Structure 1
Amino acid sequence: DIALDDEGNPDTVFQFRRFTLRQVEQRFIKERLSENLKRSLENRGEANLDMKIDFLRVVEPRANGRVDAALARNMPFTNDWMEIDSAHEISEGGFREFPFVIPRWDTSSGEVYGRSPGMIALPDSETSNAMSETILVAGQKAADPPFFAPNDSSFDAINSFSGGISYYDVDTAVQLRGNPFFSMKNDYNLPITRDMQFDTRQQIEAAFFKNVFNLPVRGPEMTATEVITRKEEFIREMGATFGRLESDYLAPQVETAFSLLLRAGEFDPIPEILLDRNVRFEYTSPIKRIREQAEAAATRLWVQELMELQPIKPEVMDLVNVDEVGRHAARALDLPIGVVTSQDDVEAIRTQRAEAEREALEREKVAQEAEIAATGG
């Protein structure tokens, strides 16, 4: 069982576990066990070591817990074990961070446990399975249809398998003017049943967002505006889902890993400007990348429109921050960090270029003045 904090995030876990006596001895300190468990372990010859004992583990926020606590019982989250039958507390521990990651695909207001797309697709899945069974039966009947025969025309059961031979009475065949065996006429419309099953499968795929996860790719018949529109549609449909997974699944793992590495001294000293400040992580997700790609494409269209207006009013290009346009496009394409020159390096390159141009102008000016002095005027 789990419980939520005031913001709706899981922060409490009640875990029911069942251990054998041998596992109890391996896991817990013998002196902390209940008297009944101690006697069971001492009387090994009489006790059944495979006997199951129920335990409860509680991990929840601890009042007045401290992250810098040296003792586990003073840490922000409890880690307590209790024997259920005797209500005996066996151990009292703790964690500096909540140790569980509990992702939930979707939740309603006030709902503790989430729901998955499988719950939405379950009725269609059962329908598709029933259709498959019906189609198999229909296909089998079409390939190997039932036979009809007069009850006195055959000497034995009809052999309907491939290569089978059935013997019939000649007199009966003469009376019927032909073969007395004939198959049941069937009008099975297998294509329409396959179409019905295909429609159901498409509904199942839609429940799992397969049609949305196929990211829009620009084709020869699509304009840049159409690509942007499709990507914006993808963002609207999947933004909430990825946001939930980011907050419930990715964020706890990253923050816990960061805290563990920080305490282990794996990072450089924290800059003074960041001391006593809250750190917020930004995640690179498919949604964020697609949003940036859509923004970069829209920016290119905007710049192209400004370039068309430039002959009319050249000053219109002053609206464009060309450096930022280039950097935003690089972020949208997820280019390696080393590919794009840093802002400081760009400033240094431009300063050196300007200095070289200034020196070249000065040399040219000195040369012109010397030439004028040599010619006398």
Structure 2
Amino acid sequence: MISYNVIGVMSGTSLDGIDLAYIHFEKNESWTFSILNATTVSYTKEMENELREAILYEKEKLAEFDTIYTKHLASVIKSFIKKHQITAIDAVCSHGHTILHQPENGITYQIGNQEKLAEIMQQKVVCDFRVQDVELGGQGAPLVPIGDELLFSEYDYCLNLGGFANVSFHKEGKRVAYDICPVNIVLNTYAKQLGFEYDDKGKLAKSGEYLMSLGAELNNLPFYKQQPPKSLGLEWVQEEIFPKLEAFKRKESDILRTFTEHIAQQIAKSFQIRSKILVTGGGAYNDYLLARIKFYKEVHLVKPNAELIEYKEAIIFGFLGILRLRDEVNCLKSVTGATKNHSSGKVYDFKVN
């Protein structure tokens, strides 16, 4: 038996905060894991605004902000280690936070992945998982499917409802995965305009009116006709989604209803009838959205315990870090479109202070 204790760290596009999970992994016949501690540390309003605006920063300003964010991330992780009196750590495996994602232009940039992270924390760090895949001609996303394949193989599909919806499944002897559509990156924006952090259980959307012409416009976006591999970023949402929603000048609840319906329609199209689907991410709590998915396709949506719903991505980035340390494949060409399967991520050892 081989075992590892790692801290997985994830910050998603929905800007909910930094997810941290301290996980024990074991390998016998197959990989198993247990979550020892997990928490989410919210961003200050100032940091949240900077993360939202950083896409517009010039190169020099973005580099400065990267250093600020790296120090912030290190501080958050150190506090987590101290609070839970964690002593056995093989590595901190961190995704960072995506600012730019334009794989068609050979660009993906996650801040918080500087060597400084290891120095400040005095821990081995595995990070910056996406860049190598883009250099190999891939989308650099989604990266979670190798974890789905090795940790959650009992499900027909793994669906994550975060800033974006992405799906992963086994097809014709290989893993296939792709981004389906935006979710909380849009829903949270309109919920906040109504004074809420998010649309609790989808109640705001449920109260709204469906705008048929807007729904048709959204469903006709070219992205939905593309074949995988494909992935989405904030840039696409700002260019393709928000202008369409704002042009309608309708109540926020109507926009929420229409966009929730749009999400459900796009997600339902991705599944075979009567499939067993693991649902994780913040959107798993959106009861109205889940009901609408089941309206469009007869499927069995499985909501696991709260820790797995909220921390699955942090868990899997911890796992990706272990695979990288073992020099085993953690990036699948069948998923990203890269020229080959590979072991991605930078490993930073620390110098003892």
The TM-score, its normalising length taken from structure 2, stands at 0.20
- Bigger RCO (CA 8 Å, 6+ sep): 2
Compare the two structures and name the one with the higher strand fraction: 2
The TM-score, its normalising length taken from structure 1, stands at 0.19
Compare the two structures and name the one with the higher helix fraction: 1
